[in-house]
Amino acid sequence: MKKGIVVLLMHLCLINVLKSQDSIPEKSKLQIGGYGEVAFTRNFYSDEWQRYTNAENYKDAASHGRFDIPHVVFTVAYDFGNGWSISSEIEFEHGGVGSAVEMEAEETGEYETEVERGGEVNLEQFWIQKSFNKAFNIRIGHIIVPIGLTNQHHLPTEFFTVYRSEGENTIFPCTWHETGASIWGKVSKLRYELQFLPGLDSDRFGSEGFINGSAGSPYEFKIANSYAGALRLDYYMSKKFRMGLSGYYGQCFSNSLTKKTKYKDNKGELFIGAVDFTYKSRILIMRGNFDYAHLTDSKAITRFNKENMSNASPSPKTAVASDALCGSLSMGYNVMSLFTKASYPSLFVFGQYEYYDSMYKTESGIMDYEWCGKHRLAFGLNYFPMKQIVVKAEYSKRFYKPQYNDEPSISFGIAYAGFFTK
């Protein structure tokens, strides 16, 4: 009798175990997530646009403060099965763009549209992918161009400073996204990605930003009279250490709505080479990059933009350099690792140095704005209460040549990055 009761109880327990296993949910095919940042900065220097051309007049300028929402991104992805998947990202930069229609009483009751907020709304990603295996995937749509460290690793939990590293964020589009096609995969410890893209638009090259404003399109379509290619290789030496190499080539001068008959022999070839690395452990994080870009026909591009682009065009109509560069090195130490072996919460004390120059070299006859060459030091804290959330505090200072004024500032921020579904 007792033996029968024991067998019955064991049988019931087994049924309950099997039922509990059956009820374990599979990983959702629908993925919803994103990232967002809120920042406050107090700049202890002038924000007048003439602070470089007449630097002496702004030596003792008053400080100014700014609140900002640098990026808020919403991600939706879905796995259809049989290797087919999609992903899309909508990005709101600096609070997005807002407008409203109002009736103006002081203007005889006319309706008037007013801009109430600045910022941008962008489709950062939208692609359809076919995966054949781990080593070979095809992706077509609006994709990230993975040139440099920041474009490939741009989540706010992937850099120490309150804002993205200034160097790559100044001289390159960042985050750089274009409509095109890519093949990618991972073979052993090597991940590769090769992309076919439309060329950049040299009408929107400039002095301070070099090629920064030339990705995407100010029109309802992307001009693609010439094309470009991008390649990225990442070698994972261990779970903690990764080395990356990326490159870009494309022709830029013909990607314009304006005819350039007099300049038919100019192509505006753009070459970019970049190397970067990350080392990440529970105790120590290190990141670094060096990027170099060379542009042919920069003198012709400068002349055309200044003489032929109208004031209503999106061109800055400023001098363009033949070469630009940037480099950075950052390191953070988790002081909480002295007291606990847990990964989170963590508190990283960090330091970062970077140098960038959007006018590193210029062709003869093109004025070199020396203030475009900037050294920047930053020190601060990153507190992670959990993996997906970070609170940041930072002191930074830009250093210039003696004829210009250095630019110190303090910044605070809070950010998140992660998926809301499992």
Q: What is the pTM of this model?
A: 0.89
3-state secondary structure of 2: helix
Read off the pLDDT of residues 218-247 as tens digits, 9 standing for 90 and up.
888 888 999 999 999 999 999 999 999 999
**pLDDT score of 276:** 98
Tokens of 404: 């210009």
Is the pLDDT confidence value at 60 over 90?
no
**pLDDT score of 116:** 58
Torsion of CA 162, 165, 167, 170, to 10 degrees: -60
Read off the pLDDT of residues 159-207 as tens digits, 9 standing for 90 and up.
999 999 999 999 999 999 999 999 999 999 999 999 999 999 999 999 9
**pLDDT score of 38:** 97
3-state secondary structure of 340: coil
Is the pLDDT confidence value at 263 over 50?
yes
Torsion of CA 340, 345, 351, 354, to 10 degrees: 140
**pLDDT score of 197:** 97
Q: Is the separation of the CB atoms in 356 and 348 below 8 Å?
A: no
Q: What is the DSSP string of 24-42?
A: SPPPPSEEEEEEEEEEEEE
Is the pLDDT confidence value at 66 over 50?
yes
Average the pLDDT over each of 15-24, 261-270, 290-299, 400-409 and give the range with the smallest value.
15-24
Read off the pLDDT of residues 313-344 as tens digits, 9 standing for 90 and up.
888 899 999 999 999 999 999 999 999 999 99
pLDDT, mean over the chain = 89
Q: Is the separation of the CB atoms in 205 and 211 below 8 Å?
A: yes
Is the pLDDT confidence value at 9 over 50?
no
- Top pLDDT among 101 and 7 is at 101
**pLDDT score of 11:** 45
Q: Is the separation of the CB atoms in 226 and 126 below 8 Å?
A: no
Q: Which helix (H) or strand (E) segment is 150 a member of?
A: helix 148-152
Name the pLDDT band for 110 (thresholds 50, 70, 90): low
Is the pLDDT confidence value at 64 over 50?
yes
Other CB atoms within a 10 A radius of the CB of residue 190 amount to 12
Average pLDDT over residues 377-404: 97
Q: Pick one of 2.40.160.10, 1.20.1730.10, 1.10.1240.10, 3.40.50.460 as the CATH number of 29-95+118-258+265-419.
A: 2.40.160.10
Cβ density class 121-137: b for 16+ within 10 Å, e for less: ebebbbbebebeeeeeb
Q: How far apart are CA 163 and CA 167, in angstroms?
A: 11
3-state secondary structure of 269: strand
Q: How far apart are CA 346 and CA 343, in angstroms?
A: 7
Q: Count Cβ atoms within 10 A of the Cβ of residue 164 and give its class: 0-12 exposed, 13-18 middle, 19 or more buried.
A: buried
Name the pLDDT band for 13 (thresholds 50, 70, 90): very low
Q: Could you give the count of Cα atoms lying within 13 Å of 91 in the half-sphere of its Cβ? A: 21
**pLDDT score of 117:** 61
Is the pLDDT confidence value at 97 over 90?
no
What is the percent of the chain where pLDDT is above 90? 74
